[in-house]
Homo-oligomer: A and B are copies of this chain.
Amino acid sequence: MAAYSRYDQLSVSLDRSAPSSLPSQLVEQIRGLIASGHLTPGDPLPSTRSLAERLNVSRGTVVFAYEQLVGEGYIVSSRGGTQVAAGANFARLPQDQGLPASNPLRGRPEPAPSPSDQGVIDLRPGQPDTSLVATASWRAAWRAAAAQPGLTYPAAGSLELRYQLVEHLRMMRSVLREPDDLLVTAGARDGFRLVLTLLRRRVRNRPLRIAVEEPGFPSLHRIPLAFGHEILPMPVDSQGLNPAHLPSGEGRPDLVLVAPSHQYPLGASLPLARRLELLAWAQDSGAFIVEDDYDSELRYVGDPLPALASLDRPSGRPGLEAHPANWSNDRVITLGSFAKMLAPGLNLGFVLLPRHLRSAALELREDTGNPVSSISQQAMTHFLAAGGLRRHTARMRRVYRARRQLLLEELTGVRGIRVLPMDGGLHAVLELTRGSASLERDLLARSRQAGLLLAPLGAYWSTRGQGQVGAGPMYGLVLGFGGVSDRQLLQGLALLKEVLKS
């Protein structure tokens, strides 16, 4: 049974007369070696070159198989080579621990898709490429953090982490603030929820009126609805939200949720004139602006735009701005996270608050508890302090810029769609030139049949909001290029062109 002794003796053999493809055979056999325990976590795999030579197949065949296994969570690739992933033998744990044979969990490794998903290319948006996150600096940061499980932090979060976040905001977002202006959160949703609880108290517990961009980011829109608040969808145009359309007076919103750097999903960046207009509106009406700063570091045309928070100054206090201690915001609350730059599962971010909300926010956080683990906070502190995020951001900009270029090249001149400008981010919007709900539905269904998953553009328009104004939804396809390899992206685009032709 010792079929596996040295890694260059990986016990696989391919059958060219078999009905399944060579890469599929390779995937299945390696998966089998892991499931059976012949390969265990940490075991190295041969290089693609050497395995291809030994099996007498093209290197691409092995590359494809490895990528598939990485995607399924069985193996991991790093600069040091490819090896069996740490969780890859989870499927065997229940058995080892005496789980009754009837347990439905038996043999189901969580990261792997179900058999019917095999070979499907998932270009739905929202996923960054996380394959390059676990650098030496990342691992060292977590190693150091895990060694100190006993640390606890104040409800605002670790002071050292907030110091690092202040530096990050200064360098990347042109925002000059102090650690006490930030609360560490479990990501944008945790921060938004905190803000809603805080502001609801200020209006004596009536539901809040919240203006949101239409179309907009569905996951943030679900939070106010879950707590019984009212959503006012505001149509966006090619420049993003138009502050001129915001109601004032009695029916004015209590807050506006906006993504000024990169409107989701259409991609507009709010021009300076509109930013100033929005701030003036908020000052006049006493409303707050919640800035969703979700992927602004990923900009491929020009430099990242400063955060809206950098323009916001306390009103009526000219002359106080000479000293950083007086820099504050009056109307803008910024939600930050590392979901797009690092990994969504990290669940770590921050909320930047106007100074006049600081003590109420901190008190609320003390009452309800900060959900972020001290180990995550320590690890992120180490990673930021070592420059890990800066390097990763620079690297991912290059990776994503190349994918964006590839996508533009592949889709230019394809009939029936118009690629919206994509200056940043991790997805493309392909508007149907003769769009309708039924054509969109039809294209999605045919893509799925061809093994390609995409998101429908029309779905980003709210159906649950009230007081809808402006034009109805646009129809098209939203295509994410963050969570796949270059090869998968190319395959997906080829499939898409086939579907669009027919």
- From A11-19, A145-153, A254-262, the one touching the partner chain is A145-153
Q: How far is the CA of A375 from the CA of B141 in the complex (A)?
A: 13
CB proximity to B under 8 Å, residues A109-132: 110-111, 130-131
Contact status A344-B385, CB under 8 Å: no
In chain A between 380 and 403, which residues have their CB closer than 8 angstroms to a CB of chain B? 381-382, 385
Question: How many chain copies does the complex carry?
Answer: 2
Complex Cα spacing A41 to B133, Å: 23
Whether A371 pairs with B372 at a CB distance below 8 angstroms is: yes
Q: Which residues 163-215 in A have Cβ within 8 Å of B in the complex?
A: 163, 167, 179, 186-187, 189-190, 193, 197, 205
B-contact bits for A83-112, CB 8 A (1 contact / 0 none): 001110010011001010000010010110
Q: Which residue of B lies closest to A85 (CB)?
A: B148
Chain B residues with Cβ below 8 Å from A49 are: none
Q: Specify which chain B residues have a CB less than 8 angstroms from the CB of A187 in the assembled complex.
A: 369, 371
Taking the complex as formed, is A2 at the interface, i.e. its CB lies under 8 A from any CB of chain B? Answer: no
Q: List 29 A-B contacts (CB under 8 A).
A: A41-B144, A76-B147, A86-B143, A86-B144, A86-B378, A87-B144, A87-B160, A97-B385, A108-B159, A130-B149, A131-B150, A133-B149, A139-B147, A142-B142, A146-B146, A149-B342, A150-B345, A186-B186, A186-B371, A187-B371, A189-B369, A190-B369, A190-B371, A205-B228, A223-B367, A223-B369, A226-B364, A375-B376, A376-B376
| Interface 0/1 of A357-370, CB less than 8 Å to B | 00000001011111
A138 CA / B145 CA spacing, docked (Å): 12
Asked whether, in the complex, the Cβ of A143 is within 8 Å of the Cβ of B144, the reply is: no
Closest-by-CB residue of B relative to A386 is: B93
- On whether the beta carbons of A73 and B148 are closer than 8 Å, the reply is yes
CA distance A148 to B190 in the complex (A): 23
Who on chain B is nearest to A226 by CB?
Answer: B367
Please state if A153 and B345 are interface contacts (CB–CB under 8 Å): yes
Q: Assuming A148-B87, A152-B344, A152-B345, is B142 touching A368 (CB within 8 A)?
A: no
B345-A160 in contact (CB<8A) = no
Contact of A93 among B94, B97, B160 (CB under 8 A): B160
**A222 an interface residue at 8 Å Cβ cutoff?**
yes
- Which positions in A face B, CB cutoff 8 Å? 41, 73, 76, 85-87, 90, 93-94, 97, 99, 105, 108, 110-111, 130-131, 133-134, 138-139, 141-153, 158-160, 163, 167, 179, 186-187, 189-190, 193, 197, 205, 219, 222-223, 225-228, 342-348, 364, 366-376, 378-379, 381-382, 385
Q: How far is the CB of A495 from chain B (nearest CB, A)?
A: 23
By beta carbon, the residue of chain B nearest A369 is B189
A139 touches B148 (CB 8 A): no
Q: A347's contact among B145, B167, B373, by CB below 8 Å, is which?
A: B373
Most chain B beta carbons < 10 A, residue from A134, A149, A228:
A149
Tell whether A346 pairs with B367 under 8 Å between CB atoms, given A73-B151, A149-B134.
no
Residues of chain B within 8 A of A147, CB atoms compared: 76, 85-86, 134, 139
Residue numbers in B under 8 Å from A189 (CB-CB): 368-369
Minimal beta-carbon separation of A138 from chain B (angstroms)? 7
Q: Hey, which chain B residues are within 8 Å of A367, CB to CB?
A: 222-223, 225-226
Name the B residues within 8 Å of A379 (CB-CB): 146, 375
A134–B94 Cα gap in the complex (Å)? 25
A148 touching B76, Cβ below 8 Å: yes
| Complex Cα gap A93–B187 (Å) | 25
Q: A343: which B residues are within 8 A, CB to CB? A: 149-150, 152, 374
Partner of A139, one of B87, B97, B146, B364: B146
Query: Do A97 and B167 contact each other (CB < 8 Å), given the known contacts A147-B85, A369-B190?
Result: yes
A320 to chain B, nearest CB (A): 17
Which residues of chain B are near A94, meaning CB under 8 Å? Answer: 163
Taking the closest CB of chain B, its distance from the CB of A443, in whole angstroms, is: 27
A158-B376 contact given A179-B105, A368-B189, CB 8 Å threshold: no
Q: Which 6 A-B pairs have the closest CB atoms?
A: A345-B374, A130-B150, A86-B144, A186-B371, A142-B146, A226-B367
In contact, A151 and B373 (Cβ under 8 angstroms): no
Contact check, A373 vs B385: say whether CB atoms are below 8 A apart: no
Q: Which residue from chain B places its CB closest to the CB of A106 in the assembled complex?
A: B163
State the Cβ distance, A150 to closest chain B Cβ, in Å.
Answer: 3
Q: Is there contact, CB below 8 Å, between A93 and B142? A: no
Judge whether A143 and B145 touch: CB under 8 Å. no
Residue of B nearest to A371 (CB): B186
* A482 shortest CB reach to chain B, Å: 11
